[in-house]
Amino acid sequence: MRKAAVIGAGIGGIATAVRLAVKGYEVTVLEANHTFGGKMHEFWLGKYRFDAGPSLFTLPHLVDELFTLAGRTPSDYFRYSRLDPITHYFWPDGSQVKAWADTGKFAEEAEQQLGVPKQAVQEALQKSARLYKGTADTFLQKSLHRLDTYLSPDVLKALGCLSDLGLTTTMHQANANEFSDPRFVQLLDRFATYNGSDPYQAPGTLNIIPHLEHNIGAFYPEGGIYSIAASLVKLAEELGVEFKYNERVERIITEKDKAVGVETDSGKYKADVVVSNMDVVPTYRRLLPDQPAPEKTLRQPRSSSALIFYWGIKKEFERLHVHNIFFSQDYKAEFEHIFKYKTVSPDPTVYINITSKADPQDAPEGGENWFVMVNVPHNQGQDWAQLTVDTRQAVLQKLSRMLKTDVEALIEEEQLLDPLLIESRTSSFGGALYGSSSNNRMAAFLRHPNFSSKLKGLYFCGGSVHPGGGIPLCLLSAKIVGELAPAPSPAKPHQRH
């Protein structure tokens, strides 16, 4: 049986392992940490459970599809429900909007609360849907680095939307052209942060993102986001995938122009196919030091990172929901702090995710598990200890003011995540959340392909390569690798050395 070695058990690595096992490979996943999930892991602080990284889940069919592919019934492994409201937005002037799952209801709420014409809101969401439908098949579902992609009929569909694609305007300009209310523009601009980008630089193309959340929906998986990784690991193990934890890959073994296996701190594994779910920058720098690296690709600017305060809060806030946003006064200045000055704004937009609203067992009775996140630059040697102290203070002051409660007095458990910890725990270059940013209109073409053009048998999945970061795109990277890897023909069994 032909063998595949997957480096890393992040969501991209797990999904790739499932796809290769279904294709007939004998798959081994080598993971440096003691468990799977990478950024998608969970932990407890006393009686409070936290999803450590991702909190917003869209396109759940991409998870279901893996169970179906393996001949299983998805709901036997993984269940989720649609969130309503999706997000509760708060502005410094006291205005609030609940983004209801029903687009008509959301548009009405925007009209009532912000005076934005509801017709314009619905038209913007319809435009987002058209853009997505016209482009996703080409830009997200396929490799952009193979000629056959450009010979497919989907390209004609994408070309049909070219004028609508917004490549010549920034996301912010595109939104400001449609809406005069700065608060609603801020709400739409925020979607740039879904792949760690800056709406004042990123192309209007990113306006496809609201379609995912508003037209298709935002979902909450039973047991939290971590259950996505856990359920897929269960499936992978049933398919015979072997997970080896605490086993860091040190080198990809090559022979002439081919990847033939990996070497870890405890042994060598021969493989016909090697897939790196490790960030592409350290994959080249550490695992392939003797190979020429694609320098231009590796030098693409990184996405933003995050400071996260995990707080066990001994009070329930009825007006809060699963996803809550407390906007900054000056969004442009906030992004300049992140991408130009490479620091944290003194007035950051604050995101609070509270899974105990959906899963009450995630917090003790009368309490809530707050995941409090601020967008920050990726690590470039900043003084994170000082930035954390300052940002914690700014966040506490802002939330206490806007919620009219002394929040600090309610914290009974606390933990922190910063770009340095993200990097050391997952090897993500600079602790960036989503690989490279989309601040350049050619970004989609500048991400590393899902295969190596120099080394046969070497593939790449996960948030640092095509089509990008975030759970759905990582799952799509696995799909592309699953399709690119050759169907295994029977071969002599290999030995582990």
Among 28-36, 72-80, 234-242, 288-296, the segment contacting ligand FAD (CB under 6 A)? 28-36
Among 309, 470, 480, 482, binds ligand FAD (CB under 6 A): 470
Q: Given the complex with ligand FAD, which of 158 and 271 has the nearer CB atom? A: 271
Q: Is 204 in the site for ligand FAD (CB under 6 A)?
A: no
Q: Give Cα 374 to chain centroid, integer Å.
A: 15
Q: Which helix (H) or strand (E) holds 373?
A: strand 368-376
3-state secondary structure of 64: helix
Among 52-60, 123-131, 147-155, 203-211, the segment contacting ligand FAD (CB under 6 A)? 52-60
Among 209-217, 359-367, 390-398, 470-478, the segment contacting ligand FAD (CB under 6 A)? 470-478
Give the total of residues touching ligand FAD (CB under 6 A).
Answer: 36
Contact in structure between 87 and 99 (CB atoms under 8 Å): yes
Q: Given the complex with ligand FAD, which of 7 and 124 has the nearer CB atom? A: 7
Cα torsion angle, 134, 170, 419, 250, sign = positive
Q: Which of 74, 54, 80 minimizes the C-alpha distance to 232?
A: 74
Among 4, 18, 40, 259, binds ligand FAD (CB under 6 A): 40
Q: Given the complex with ligand FAD, which of 161 and 302 has the nearer CB atom? A: 302
DSSP string across 79-95: -EEE-SS-EEEE-TTS-
Q: Is 7 in the site for ligand FAD (CB under 6 A)?
A: yes
Q: Given the complex with ligand FAD, which of 55 and 138 has the nearer CB atom? A: 55
Token output for 277: 């779910």
Cα torsion angle, 279, 285, 286, 287, sign = positive
Residues 82-111 that bind ligand FAD (CB under 6 A): none
Q: Given the complex with ligand FAD, which of 171 and 417 has the nearer CB atom? A: 417
The contact mask relative to ligand FAD for 421-460 (x = CB under 6 A, - = no) is -x---xxx----xx--------------------------
Among 24-32, 60-68, 111-119, 485-493, the segment contacting ligand FAD (CB under 6 A)? 24-32
Among 30-38, 161-169, 375-383, 450-458, the segment contacting ligand FAD (CB under 6 A)? 30-38
Distances (CA, A) of 493 to 3, 68, 102, 197, 241: 8, 29, 54, 46, 16
Contact in structure between 11 and 38 (CB atoms under 8 Å): yes
Q: Is 30 in the site for ligand FAD (CB under 6 A)?
A: yes
Among 124, 165, 187, 249, binds ligand FAD (CB under 6 A): 249
Distances (CA, A) of 28 to 152, 160, 357: 34, 43, 37
DSSP string across 304-350: -EEEEEEEEESS--TT--SEEEE--S-HHHHHIIIIIS-S--SS--E
Q: Is 20 in the site for ligand FAD (CB under 6 A)?
A: no
Which residue is it, tokens 């700014």? 394
Strand segments (E) across 10-164: 26-30, 42-45, 48-51, 80-82, 87-90, 96-99
Among 32-40, 65-73, 237-245, 445-453, the segment contacting ligand FAD (CB under 6 A)? 32-40
Q: Is 224 in the site for ligand FAD (CB under 6 A)?
A: no
Q: Is 467 in the site for ligand FAD (CB under 6 A)?
A: no
Among 9-17, 91-99, 148-156, 395-403, the segment contacting ligand FAD (CB under 6 A)? 9-17
Q: Is 376 in the site for ligand FAD (CB under 6 A)?
A: no
Q: In DSSP terms, which residues pair with 264 in a beta bridge?
A: 249, 267
Among 6, 17, 38, 63, binds ligand FAD (CB under 6 A): 38
Contact in structure between 109 and 98 (CB atoms under 8 Å): yes
Which residues contact residue 312 at a Cβ distance below 8 angstroms, ignoring those fewer than 6 apart? 45, 46, 47, 48, 363, 367, 369, 370, 411, 412, 413, 414
Q: Given the complex with ligand FAD, which of 12 and 121 has the nearer CB atom? A: 12
Q: How far is the CB of 37 from ligand FAD (least distance, A)?
A: 7
Residues 257-316 that bind ligand FAD (CB under 6 A): 277-278, 306, 308
Q: How far is the CB of 411 from ligand FAD (least distance, A)?
A: 19
Contact in structure between 91 and 114 (CB atoms under 8 Å): no
3-state secondary structure of 251: strand
Residue ranges that bind ligand FAD, judged by CB under 6 A: 7-13, 30-33, 38-40, 53-56, 248-249, 277-278, 306, 308, 422, 426-428, 433-434, 462-463, 469-471, 474
